[in-house]
Chain A
């Protein structure tokens, strides 16, 4: 039997992993998870892994547009594998985006109604355009957003707008009529 001392092992790296859920328990894809400069995103099943962390205290922040950013502070030991789950709730704010949709040629509000699509990561928001061509999106958190028009007989238009807290931003769309009719055989 040998009496030599054991060779010292390398410092084991720690890991934090877990899942991100909606407030109601559904899994969230592509939520950003950051910790000490390391960034990753959740997979389709809401899972994430942060590897190669040093021992000590870490702040893990989860963010996704449309949801309140959340952070948790944890301390981990050498070689520890810690599980951390997050539940995100929808974010609300005080900004507002509104405006009218006009026919680009007649400069009058579009007559046939339609929808404005407000792009968000998990589920888009949809608002109908009323009889006067008016639309609005309220209670928005500060940030940069993309909007698209979708009106039968008109081309789609898109715009990217940034709003700060309490800001009320007006944006009017001038939509060109859609030239192409589908062939009558269907």
Chain B
């Protein structure tokens, strides 16, 4: 729902890193996005295309997205399981005392530059 907002954050961070490394042009940025981070990839790509065009440093930069799978851990039976399939309820013992171990991330992994 806030894809445009996070694209602005990414651009700000990429520009800061580019400045530190004396970069002339950024031609690809790779993000790692958790499966349950709530970000819709298609909307993110649309927002990206629209926003980078205004940035001379990265006007044609390609966006690559890697997905981090969501995993939930059960405090009662100490097993983990895939979040998207089973949600909050542990498929091993039926407990609801569970918490997300990974899958909520939104990271800039790397950027290809010249």
Whether chain B is bound by chain A comes out as no
Interface residues of A (CB under 8 A from B): none
Interface residues of B (CB under 8 A from A): none
